[in-house]
Structure 1
Amino acid sequence: MHILFLTDNFPPEVNAPASRTFEHCREWVKAGHQVTVITCTPNFPKGRVFEGYRNRLWQSEEMSGIRVIRVWSYITANEGFIKRILDYQSFMMTAALAAPFVRNVNVVVGTSPQFFTACAAYAVSRLKRIPFVFELRDLWPESIKAVGAMQDSAAIRALEHLEMFLYHKAARIVSVTHSFKKTLITRGVSSDKIMVVTNGVDMSRFKPMLKDAELVSQLGLEGKFVAGYVGTHGLAHHLETLLDAAERVRTLPDGAVFHFILMGDGARKQALKDEAVRRGLNNVTFIDSVPKDQVARYWSLLDVSVIHLKKTDLFTTVIPSKLFECMGMGLPVLHGVAGESADIVRDEGVGIVFEPENADELVAHLVSLLQNRSAYESYKVRSLEAAKKYDRKTMAMRMLDVMAQLTR
Structure 2
Amino acid sequence: MNIWYFNHYAGGPGIGRALRPYHLSRAWADVGHTTTIFVASFHHLQDTPEPLPPEMVVDGVRYISLPTRPYLGNGLGRLKNMNDYCRAMMRLTARVPNDLAKPDVIIISSPQPYAIFSAVKLARRYGAQLTLEVRDLWPLSLVEINGNSKFHPFVLFTAFTEWFAYTKAHLVASLLGGAEAHMRAHGLGPNKFVHVPNGVSTASMIAPEIPRSAAGKEAAAQIAAWKAEGRLIAIHPGAQGIPNGLDKLLEVMSRLNAQGLESQYGVLLVGKGGMTDQLKADAAERQLPNVRFIDPVPNTESRWLSSASDIGYSGKRDDRNVFRHGTSFNKTIEFMQAGLPILLPIYSPHSLVAQSGCGIVTGTDEANAIAKAFTQLLEMSPDDRARMGEKGRAYVAERLDYYKIAADYIAAIEQTQNAIANN
Provide TM-score, normalisation by structure 1.
0.88
Cα deviation, 1:7-50, whole Å, max 9, x if unaligned, reads 111224655xx2222211111112221110110235424xxx74
Partner residue, 2:51: 55
Structure 1: runs of 5 or more not aligned:
none
Task: Give the deviation of 1:115 after TM superposition.
Answer: 0.3
> Equivalents in 2 of 1:130, 1:93: separation in Å?
19
Q: Quote how far apart the aligned CAs of 1:190 are.
A: 0.9
- Superposed CA RMSD: 2.8
Q: How many residues get paired?
A: 399
CA distance 1:183–1:171, shift in 2 (3 Å): same
8 Å Cα contact 1:210-1:300 kept in structure 2:
no
Q: Please tell me whether the aligned partners of residues 175 and 194 of structure 1 are also in contact (alpha carbons under 8 angstroms).
A: yes
TM-score of the two chains, using structure 2 as the length reference? 0.85
Letter in 2 for 1:39: V
1:90 aligns with 2:88: no
The 5-angstrom pairing of residues 299-318 of structure 1 reads 299-312=306-319, 313-318=321-326
Between 192-201 and 28-37, the greater mean CA deviation after superposition? 192-201
C-alpha distance in structure 2 between counterparts of 1:100 and 1:180, whole Å: 37
Distance 1:264 1:126, change over 3 A: farther
Match runs of 1:193-232 below 5 Å: 193-204=192-203, 205=205, 215-217=219-221, 220-223=225-228, 224-232=231-239
TM-superposition CA deviations, 1:175-194 (whole Å, max 9, x none) = 11232111111234212111
Name the CA distance, whole Å, in 2 between partners of 1:88 and 1:296.
Answer: 31
- Matched residues in 2 for 1:129 and 1:170: separation? 13
Q: Distance in 2 between matches of 1:337 and 1:207?
A: 30
* Structure 1 residues 264 and 22, CA gap change in structure 2 (3 angstroms): farther
1:254 aligned residue: 261
The one-character-per-residue Cα deviations of 1:313-350 (angstroms, maximum 9, x if unpaired) are 222223133323222111101111212335x4344221
Report sequence identity in percent.
Answer: 21
**Larger relative CO (CA 8 A, sep 6+): 1 or 2?**
1
Shift of 1:66: 0.9
In the alignment, what sits opposite 2:156? Answer: 157
Identify the residue that residue 421 of structure 2 maps to in structure 1.
Answer: none
Displacement, 1:406?
Answer: 4.4
Contact map agreement 2:211 2:301 (CA 8 A) in 1: no
Shift of 1:128: 2.2
Q: 250, 265, 270: which is aligned to 1:263?
A: 270
Match of 2:25 in 1: 25
| Structure 2 unaligned residues grouped into runs of 5+ | 419-423
Tell me the SS of whatever aligns to 1:4.
Answer: strand
| SS of 1:25 mapped into structure 2 | helix
**Alpha carbons of structure 1 residues 347 and 35: separation in structure 2 relative to 1, 3 Å:** closer
Q: Determine if contact 1:13/1:44 at 8 Å carries over to the other structure.
A: no
Contact map agreement 1:181 1:191 (CA 8 A) in 2: no
| Letter of the 2:262 counterpart | G
Change over 3 Å in CA distance of 1:241–1:157 after alignment to 2: same
CA gap of 1:290–1:40, structure 2 versus 1, over 3 A, is: farther
Q: Where do 1:142-153 residues align within 5 Å?
A: 142-152=140-150, 153=152
| 1:298 paired residue number | 305
> Residue 378 of structure 2 corresponds to which residue in structure 1?
370
Matched residue, 1:177: 176
